[in-house]
Structure 1
Amino acid sequence: MPADLPRRSTDVVVAGGGPVGLYLAVLLLQAGVSVQVLEQRPSRSSHSRAIGVHPPALESLAQAGIGDAMIREGVRITHGEARSAGRTVARLDFAAASDRYPFVLTLPQVRTEHLLEERLRALDPGALVRGSKVESFDDLGSSVRVYGTSEGQPFMTEAVLLVAADGARSGIRSALGTRWSARDLPDTYVMGDYPDGTGDGALAVLYLEPEGIVESFPLPGGLRRWVAHSGALPPEVTAAGLAQLVHRRTGHRLDVAGNSMLSAFGVRIGRAHHLVSGRTVLVGDAAHQISPIGGQGMNLGWLDAAAVAPLIAASLHGKPMGRALQDFERRRRRGAVVASAQARANMVLGRPLPQRAMALRNAGLERMFQVPALGGAVARRFTMQ
């Protein structure tokens, strides 16, 4: 068999080599489980949409041996502010969110994936096979056979378990016939990364303006990400166009020449009604798709992986499972419901409002955040506690 084809047998096949699939594979290898990660992309994407890492995910990533490296490279956001019409409406202190990680970390997804891949290859150089697409699979009761193509050549891999970490358009979930409830929300956004000339340092800022929210987050390398609610998806996103929108709503002038990333996106939410089917498990966006506003989606997938990895390892080491997988499914579906509700609340906060309604809403926020206990509760919810 050519060296670049997947192995013919392994304990677990993970379909999808994004941040969730890579992280799960690391946890399993550390537990003595053999893993084959099949990723159809021939190389890592250079496009970083996800940047936020919340305290519960940092706890889990520390178990994978990359938490310290991420913290060294990322920006620690210890505080957030909501501003409107040039003044501060509310201020969040993330110190109450976690004793060990009293901050939200920002690190571009492409760098996070790089660190995870390095850790995976250190544990098993052959665990990740890029350019490999899963096309079908057979659940044989005692094992599962996975079929596909790798660099144009057919392959078959037999495993004890198949884990689908292949994203919101999961082909494995579709092949299983798992019920998937999904719908599009009316919100659309444009975003981009520019040199940071705000003077806000490591502060995250939400600008609550009548035309819609503008979010501002610090990034490594002296950059800042800007995310703006838009009335519709533009036919083309330009650095100058987003800069004009940001200036109109916030007063900040962005360095258009230094722009390094642009994107526009709508919001689609979805949830699988079952995460476990025979010898197949769904994790990450294959199991639940939530709004990216609030930065919880990637973190939610990591928490899925952290929850299921010890169950898989225990099962393969001969320990009886009982209702462990059913409990996993129940807990993770509940976690997705909570995260999705928080993300939707974040979106509601950022929708356009008439000037008078905006003033009333801002006054309510000011009063609420004058109560320390309420501010701490919001900080904990925002950081997925």
Structure 2
Amino acid sequence: MTAQPHDQNAATEQRERLGTAVVVGGSLSGLMTGLALSRAGIDVTMLERVGSFPRSGASIGGVSESLLERITGRPRSRKDSTAQRRPPSDVQTWTAIHARLRAAVNDDPHIRLRYSATVQRVGQDAESAWVTTSDGRRFRGDVVIGADGHRSVVRRTVAPDHQDAQFAGYVIWLGLADESVIASRHRWPRDVDILGSGDDYLLGYPLAARDGSIAPGSRQIGWAWYDARRNDLLREKGCVTGDVVQHSLAAADIPESTLRELAAEATDLWPPLWRDVILDCIERRAVIGTPIAEYVPDRLVQGRLALVGDAAHVPTPMTGSGFNASLHDAEAVAEAVAAGLHGSSVVRALHGYERERLESARSMVRSGQQFSRSFAGQTV
């Protein structure tokens, strides 16, 4: 039977694809890597261990609308003209960025995103690489890319003698509030505020509304408070074990006594605008504590396995470099994989990716460590 033109086109498109990749991790670096690989002609299977991501108080600077349009290959879907403009600080919530990237991945026919897929083992041979999940499934590709964060499973195979990111010695308290909290008492901030008071640092930043609008009345405001005094609490709650960060401190797990202490300190330390925003978040229990980890890589590649994002390098957020470094990783590894599949050796091409990215990643993390050591002192 003669194939229909649509089927012929689909078959031709399939033949033009270069190969396959398995990306472990569906957070920001994983999504960016999947998009970059697909754009380079690679079919991608992406595995994410959680079923859905909770809303996060974290925000990321330097992420402009034009940058997101370049990464996703499409403009924002806008309900009104006010969503076309961004705050001058170019700070966006982690949740908003993740939603944009995930939507682009979901619309890409060459990416299969599988949730609730917990990777336990990673392997490779001369012809392919694969991962095995906790339910016994095996996913195979020409390469496996670890984008699974600072506690990366893929890193255990790539760098078995240097597996763990190290606790930097402090926590960042994070919160988001609505503009209504400050509308009648304070002027809306124009840009990021960076404040220091004794042993504490605070970053405060204006944000767009959840739909991207910056129309007055619907916007958000966020803050990140650097605190090196509560490491015992982090260990008591299992957030840090030894020198290794395990997880964040959820709002429900923050003791009432700690919230009262933070409220009193906020009143003493910070200007009225940020004091009121922080107190609102504390009152609503809309605060999370993120212990900061750091990881200086020795290698990014092992055969057909490669690392990107926080699996590859973990800087303190104070560097402001994590997102852009992850984007550079994603684009560089996709270019390398495509070149290797076009040529004779994916393994050789991935080592080229390592040569391109390793030293800049090491320098980025080390520059942040200078801040961490001066800030945390001997409190680790």
So what's the TM-score if we normalise by structure 1? Answer: 0.71
Cα separation, 2, equivalents of 1:270 and 1:257:
34
Cα separation, 2, equivalents of 1:250 and 1:218:
16
Per-residue CA deviation, residues 172-206 of structure 1 (Å, 9 max, x unaligned), is 21134433274333333323223453424331111
Where in structure 2 are the equivalents of 1:1-385 lying within 5 Å? 11-54=20-63, 59=67, 62-66=70-74, 72=83, 75-78=86-89, 105-124=90-109, 127-149=112-134, 153-180=135-162, 182-196=165-179, 197=182, 198-221=186-209, 222-233=219-230, 235=233, 236=254, 241-252=261-272, 253-255=275-277, 256-257=279-280, 261-318=286-343, 324-345=349-370, 347=372
Task: Say if 1:138 and 1:144, in contact at 8 Å, map to a contact too.
Answer: yes
Name the amino acid aligned to 2:268.
Answer: R
Cα separation, 1, equivalents of 2:327 and 2:171:
26
Name the amino acid aligned to 1:246.
Answer: A
Give the superposition deviation at 1:59. Answer: 4.3
Give the superposition deviation at 1:225. Answer: 1.7
Structure 1 stretches lacking a partner, 5+ long:
1-9, 79-104, 353-385
Q: Which shifted more, 116-125 or 270-279?
A: 116-125
Name the amino acid aligned to 1:291.
Answer: T
Task: Say if 2:316 and 2:369, in contact at 8 Å, map to a contact too.
Answer: yes
Aligned-partner SS, 2:149: coil
Identity percentage of aligned residues: 21
Per-residue CA deviation, residues 344-382 of structure 1 (Å, 9 max, x unaligned), is 455578679xxxxxxxxxxxxxxxxxxxxxxxxxxxxxx
| Distance change (3 Å), C-alpha of 1:158 and 1:74 | farther
CA RMSD of aligned residues (A): 3.2
Aligned-partner SS, 2:343: coil
Give the superposition deviation at 1:232. Answer: 1.8
Task: Say if 1:162 and 1:280, in contact at 8 Å, map to a contact too.
Answer: yes
Cα separation, 2, equivalents of 1:177 and 1:294:
24
Count of aligned pairs between the two proteins: 313
Name the amino acid aligned to 2:156.
Answer: S
Cα separation, 1, equivalents of 2:367 and 2:86:
23
| Distance change (3 Å), C-alpha of 1:223 and 1:37 | same
Name the amino acid aligned to 2:230.
Answer: L
Give 1:93's aligned residue: none
Task: Say if 1:74 and 1:219, in contact at 8 Å, map to a contact too.
Answer: no
Task: Say if 1:51 and 1:107, in contact at 8 Å, map to a contact too.
Answer: yes
- More strand, by proportion: 1
Cα separation, 2, equivalents of 1:296 and 1:51:
9
So what's the TM-score if we normalise by structure 2? Answer: 0.71
Give the superposition deviation at 1:298. Answer: 3.0
Per-residue CA deviation, residues 138-168 of structure 1 (Å, 9 max, x unaligned), is 311111132224xxx4322221100011111
Per-residue CA deviation, residues 255-312 of structure 1 (Å, 9 max, x unaligned), is 5446573122333211231111111001111111111224322332222111111111
Cα separation, 2, equivalents of 1:240 and 1:67:
43
Aligned-partner SS, 1:62: helix
Give 1:372's aligned residue: none
Cα separation, 2, equivalents of 1:298 and 1:17:
14
Name the amino acid aligned to 1:274.
Answer: R
Cα separation, 2, equivalents of 1:163 and 1:310:
13
Cα separation, 2, equivalents of 1:300 and 1:237:
35
| Distance change (3 Å), C-alpha of 1:146 and 1:264 | closer
Cα separation, 2, equivalents of 1:66 and 1:47:
24
Give the superposition deviation at 1:118. Answer: 0.9
Task: Say if 1:50 and 1:108, in contact at 8 Å, map to a contact too.
Answer: yes
| Distance change (3 Å), C-alpha of 1:155 and 1:186 | closer
Name the amino acid aligned to 2:146.
Answer: A
